[in-house]
Amino acid sequence: MLLVRSRSEVGLWSEHTRKAGRRIGLVPTMGSLHAGHTSLIDVARRSVDRIALSIFVNPLQFGPAEDYESYPRDLERDLDVAAAAGVDLVFAPPDVEMYPNGEPGVNVVPVGGVDRLCGRSRPGHFTGVLTVVAKLFGIVTPDVAVFGQKDYQQLVLIRRMATDLNFPVDVESGPIVREADGLAMSSRNRHLSATDRKRALRLSATLRSCAQLFAGGHRDPQDFVRELHRAGGAGVSVEYGEVVHPESLAPVDRVEEGAVCAVAAFVGDTRLIDNHVLGTDPGF
């Protein structure tokens, strides 16, 4: 496995890989790798010959009061995880390599669907996400890029960007990976105290209840919204609980198969998100 720090090194690797007739997969991450990330590597491996994984805590997608400085970083551990998962190249650039002039002069600004869910409380977040992903697409030139379903709004917006800007990359998704008790895996879980870790299970519990409501024939979105907000309580402050269309992300008037139940909450000081696509096996 190669570890590279510069865009030029990635470009040479990609050029050599393509000349050898091999397809490239990209798994963008911010590090702090866990089983959710390695599952994305497994998804990529189904359709490519070589896998590049990026590790970059992108400052553009963090607001002034968010956890950029405290975001968990452990490159040596991440490299061990990536090597064990069969990654061929890890791109771990410093900030100056991605943004040589500080903030970029050109950003990718999403239109539509960005003022909902996480975008409502994180202005500029998805501009930062799309800008860095566009840069990674240009640097790595992958045939396939894989993103996790847990960041559902991000997945939808990246797919739109790839289509609208004619990136020659297939954007694929990997399912949410959960702990045995149902908690969605997240790099931020390590910030939870033992008490908050138990409280965080309310998020997956409400999603499980939503799956049961749908299986029982409920179709009024307010039934699902009320259930999602039941995640709130001592130590848990719900930011949003919504049922949205899987592509437009707009609230639905009637809940149909494929609609997405999404919830975000602060558990203690840690912000967590989770979701479930109705009509699919909840698996938790």
The catalytic site residues sit at 37
- CA proximity to 275, closest of 177, 207, 228: 207
The percent helix, strand, coil of the chain (3-state, each to 5) is: 40, 20, 40
> How many other CB atoms are there within 10 angstroms of residue 117's CB atom?
24
DSSP tag of 63: -
**Assigned token pair, 149:** 């379903």
**Assigned token pair, 154:** 């991000």
DSSP string, 115-167: SSTHHHHSTTHHHHHHHHHHHHHHHH--SEEEEETTSHHHHHHHHHHHHHTT-
Radius of gyration of the chain (CA): 19
Q: Which amino acid is at 57?
A: V
CB 241 within 8 A of CB 229: yes
CB 246 within 8 A of CB 262: no
Q: Terminal CA-to-CA distance of the chain, rounded, Å?
A: 34
Q: From CA 136, how far away is CA 270, in angstroms rounded?
A: 28
* Cα of 64 vs its chain's centroid, Å: 20
Q: From CA 185, how far away is CA 178, in angstroms rounded?
A: 5
